């Protein structure tokens, strides 16, 4: 019998809807047979009726509880794991709430506002013997397995450089309006780095840091420049990361990670996808095509002149999801899933085998990435409010 993982969804915004839709896709469509997912509860801080409507739209309202507060969800014993889908500003408080109540957690990226908060969450999860994982969904794509294999089997030699970008413009209508969107707003810990930069940084870590034994990994040094958005968050952020490696692993590796929310920079204007991640080794190169939050195509080039192109579908049958506007290029074909369930499979598999963290991205790696982002913000003079940076709990935000 497959292990049935019972999910509680904390918040009912855009990504919560997308994740929940993908959770309900039959796992056998992606050749997963040992686990299944079910949604047993959802909570909305906007009220129980909002949570109820969310569950109705998914077609699971009859078998799931709807709550008007996150506190009630955290107390629900019919939930095996809670997916936290609030803005970055609230992750620390929300995850603490769940862990204190004895719930396992999958929390959206960016994990927290700063590394100190991530450290406290890790310690709390360990103290309570609970599962905790950052929802960097790209890490769980089959494409990521291919990336790791390609590097580990030596196909492109030793990785010397990674060049990775994610630039998604702010919605022109939103950018021109009086109110600030979540991504533009310092109060929700918005800005390019926490929203988008986390993807290029993760690709750099996957290609350089994650592929060497844990005991010889060292955090990279960081050089960064930030250009601010009018609201005070970062608009464009450019980072150079130098990963120290022993000579038998190719010596230092350089990574260039960039991100931007520059209004009007329509990166898909031409509709001709370009590589947005390039992994350059001594014997070849692996390219991942736009957008780096969901690359659907790769191109592998090796020194003997071979070129291998692959596409990476996310099988449904889902309902398709049009929850982003055209400028985010998030239109899925009818029947295609967005690809968010691979990470749910990882979490459920861990629960079924009593593992307390992801097998693909350790909590230590999430912490080091948060430390890198702290340093980027320090160099770029990007600070959020004292309460958003705080590790005090509970705190009313
Ligand atoms: N993996 C991916 O592809 C993506 C991940 N994300 C990540 O998901 C998280 C949420 O993003 P997204 O779903 O786009 O955001 P939304 O603004 O669409 O939704 C956030 C939800 O959080 C709840 N919330 C609680 N407090 C606040 C607050 N003060 N301000 C706003 N919302 C609040 C609300 O739900 P309620 O009223 O029900 O409580 C709200 O609907 C972020 O961490 C983001 O980085 C975002 C997009 C894509
Ligand atoms: O995680 C994300 O991926 C898709 C982007 O458009 C979105 O802003 C970001 O949060």
- In terms of pLDDT, which residue wins out, 166 or 151? 151
> Residue 325 pLDDT more than 50?
no
The protein residue whose alpha carbon is closest to atom 6 in ligand 2 is 328
- Strand ranges across the sheet with 35-43: 65-67, 35-43, 3-10, 81-84, 104-108, 132-135
Share of the chain above pLDDT 70, in %: 92
Alpha carbon 40 to its chain's center = 23
Ligand 1 centroid to residue 336 C-alpha, Å: 23
pLDDT of residue 65: 98
pLDDT of residue 168: 83
Residue nearest to atom 2 of ligand 1 (CA): 15
- Domains in the chain, CATH or no CATH each: 1-137+314-397 (3.40.50.720), 142-312 (3.30.360.10)
CA 164 – CA 168 distance, rounded (Å): 14
Which ligand is nearest the CA of 13, by number? Answer: 1
- Beta bridge pairs of residue 237: 226, 259
pLDDT for residue 338: 86
pLDDT tens-digit series, residues 261-293: 986 555 554 456 789 999 999 999 999 998 899
Ligand 2 within 6 A of 356 CB?
no
Q: Point out the ligand nearest to the CA of residue 329.
A: 2
**pLDDT value at position 330?**
57
pLDDT at 271: 53
| CA-closest residue to ligand 2 atom 4 | 293
Tell me if 201 sits within 8 A of 373, measured CB to CB: yes
Q: Does position 356 have pLDDT exceeding 80, yes or no? A: yes
287 CA to centre of ligand 2 in angstroms: 20
The pLDDT score that the predictor gives to residue 269 is 44
State the DSSP string of 297-343: EEEEEETTS-EEEEE------------S-GGGT-PPPTT---S-HHH
| Element of type H or E holding 200 | helix 198-204
Ligand 2, atom 10: nearest CA belongs to which residue? 195
For the chain, what percent of residues have pLDDT higher than 90? 84
361-383 tens-digit pLDDT: 999 999 999 999 999 999 999 99
Residue 323: pLDDT band by 50, 70, 90 thresholds? very low
**Do 348 and 3 form a contact (C-beta atoms < 8 A)?**
yes
Q: How far does the centroid of ligand 2 lie from the alpha carbon of residue 102, in Å? A: 29
CB of 184 shorter than 6 A to ligand 2: no
The rounded mean pLDDT for the chain is 93
How far does the centroid of ligand 2 lie from the alpha carbon of residue 168, in Å? 8
Work out whether the CA dihedral 306, 138, 388, 219 comes out positive or negative: negative
Mean per-residue pLDDT, 136-153:
98
User: Which residues have CB under 6 Å of ligand 1?
Assistant: 11-16, 44-46, 50, 85-88, 90, 108-109, 137, 182, 188, 195, 293
- For residue 194, the CA-to-ligand 2 centroid distance in Å is 10
Average pLDDT score over residue span 132-146: 98
Q: Ligand 2 centre from 381 Cα, in Å?
A: 23
- pTM exceeds 0.90, yes or no: yes
Using the predicted structure, report yes or no on whether residue 327 has a pLDDT greater than 60: no
Mean pLDDT of 171-175: 72
Best probe residue, ligand 2, of 91, 168, 193 (max atoms within 8 Å of C-beta): 168
pLDDT at residue 170 in the model: 78
Nearest-CA residue for atom 17 of ligand 1: 13
Q: Is the CB of 195 under 6 A from ligand 2?
A: yes
Q: How far is the CA of 197 from the centre of ligand 2 (A)?
A: 10
């Amino acid at each position: 019998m497959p292990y049935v993982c019972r999910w509680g969804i904390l918040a009912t915004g855009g990504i919560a809807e997308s994740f929940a839709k993908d959770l309900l896709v039959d796992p056998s469509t992606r050749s997963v047979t040992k686990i299944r997912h079910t949604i047993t509860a959802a909570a909305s801080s906007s009220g129980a009726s909002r949570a109820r409507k969310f569950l109705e739209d998914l077609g699971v309202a009859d078998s799931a509880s709807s709550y008007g507060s996150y506190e009630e969800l955290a107390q629900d014993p019919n939930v095996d794991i809670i997916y936290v889908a609030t803005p970055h500003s609230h992750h620390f408080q929300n995850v603490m709430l769940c862990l204190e109540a004895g719930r396992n957690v999958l929390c959206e990226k960016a994990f927290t506002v700063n590394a100190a908060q991530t450290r406290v969450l890790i310690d709390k999860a360990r103290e309570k013997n609970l599962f905790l994982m950052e929802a960097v969904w790209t890490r769980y794509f089959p494409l990521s397995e291919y990336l790791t294999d390609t590097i580990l089997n030596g196909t492109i030699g030793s990785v010397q450089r990674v060049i990775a970008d994610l630039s998604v413009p702010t919605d022109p209508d939103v950018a021109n309006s009086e109110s600030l969107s979540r991504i533009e707003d310092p109060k929700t810990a918005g800005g390019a780095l926490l929203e988008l930069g986390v993807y290029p940084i993760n690709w750099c870590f996957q290609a350089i840091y994650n592929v060497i034994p844990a005991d010889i990994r060292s955090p990279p040094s960081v050089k960064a420049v930030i250009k601010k958005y009018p609201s005070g968050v970062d608009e464009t952020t450019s980072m150079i990361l130098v990963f120290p490696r022993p000579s038998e692993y190719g010596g230092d590796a350089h990574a260039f990670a960039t991100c931007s929310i520059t209004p009007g920079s329509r990166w898909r204007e031409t509709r001709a996808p370009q590589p947005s991640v390039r992994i350059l080794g001594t014997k070849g190169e692996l390219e991942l095509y736009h957008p780096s939050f969901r690359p659907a195509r790769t191109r592998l080039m090796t020194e003997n002149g071979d070129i291998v192109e692959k596409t990476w579908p996310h099988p449904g049958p889902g309902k398709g999801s049009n929850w982003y506007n055209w400028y985010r290029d998030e239109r899925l074909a009818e029947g295609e899933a967005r690809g968010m369930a691979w990470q749910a499979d990882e979490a459920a598999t861990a629960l079924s085998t009593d593992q307390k963290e992801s097998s693909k991205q350790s909590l230590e790696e999430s912490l080091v990435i948060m430390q890198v982002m702290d340093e980027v913000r320090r160099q770029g003079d990007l600070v959020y409010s004292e309460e958003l940076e705080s590790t005090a709990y509970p705190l009313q935000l």
